[in-house]
Structure 1
Amino acid sequence: MVETTGSARTLAVDIGGSGIKVIVLDEAGEPLTERSRMETPQPPKPDAVLAVIAQLAAGQGEFDRVSVGFPGVVRNGVTYTAVNLDPAWMEFDLAAALQERLGKPVRVANDADMQGMGAIAGNGVELVVTLGTGFGSALFVNGKLVPNLEMGHHPFRKGETYEQQLRRTALDDIGQKRWNRRLEKAIGTLGRLFNYDCLYIGGGEAKKVSLELPANVKIVPNISGLLGGIALWRD
Structure 2
Amino acid sequence: MENTSSAISILSIDIGGSSIKATIVSREGEMLQEYKKSKTPKPASPAEVLRVIKLLIKDFQAYHRVSVGFPGYVKNGVICTAPNLGTAMWKGVDLSKLLGDSLGKPVRVANDADLHGLGVVSGKGLELVITLGTGFGTAILMDGILLPHLELAHHPVTKKRTYDGFIGDKAFIEIGKKRWNRRMKQVIRVLKTVFNYDRLYIGGGNADELEFKLDDNIEIITNRDGIKGGARLWQLHDEEVLRPENVQS
TM-score per shorter chain, which class? over 0.9
The two structures have a TM-score, normalised by structure 2, of 0.92
Matches within 5 A, 1:47-62: 47-62=47-62
Write out per-residue CA displacement over residues 94-122 of structure 1, whole angstroms, 9 at most, x where no aligned residue. 00000000001100000000000111011
Q: Could you list the runs of 5+ residues in structure 2 that have no partner in the other structure?
A: 240-249
The two structures have a TM-score, normalised by structure 1, of 0.97
Q: Which SS does the other structure have where 1:160 is aligned?
A: coil
**Post-superposition offset of 1:133:** 0.4
Counterpart in 1 of 2:25?
25
Counterpart in 2 of 1:95?
96
Counterpart in 2 of 1:233?
234
Matches within 5 A, 1:116-195: 116-195=117-196
Q: Which SS does the other structure have where 1:126 is aligned?
A: strand
Query: Percent same amino acid at aligned positions?
Result: 48
For 1:135 and 1:27, how far apart are their aligned partners in 2? 28
For 1:229 and 1:2, how far apart are their aligned partners in 2? 17
**Post-superposition offset of 1:159:** 2.1
Counterpart in 1 of 2:10?
10
**Post-superposition offset of 1:178:** 0.9
Counterpart in 1 of 2:246?
none
Q: Which has the larger radius of gyration?
A: 2
Q: Could you list the runs of 5+ residues in structure 1 that have no partner in the other structure?
A: none
Report how many aligned residue pairs link the two structures.
235
Matches within 5 A, 1:179-218: 179-218=180-219
Greater than 6 Å deviation, 4+ residue runs: none
Counterpart in 1 of 2:39?
39
**Post-superposition offset of 1:61:** 1.7
Aligned alpha-carbon RMSD (Å): 1.1
Counterpart in 2 of 1:75?
75
For 2:142 and 2:16, how far apart are their aligned partners in 1? 26
For 1:161 and 1:223, how far apart are their aligned partners in 2? 28
Check the 8 A contact 1:116/1:224 in 2, yes or no: no
Check the 8 A contact 1:79/1:92 in 2, yes or no: yes
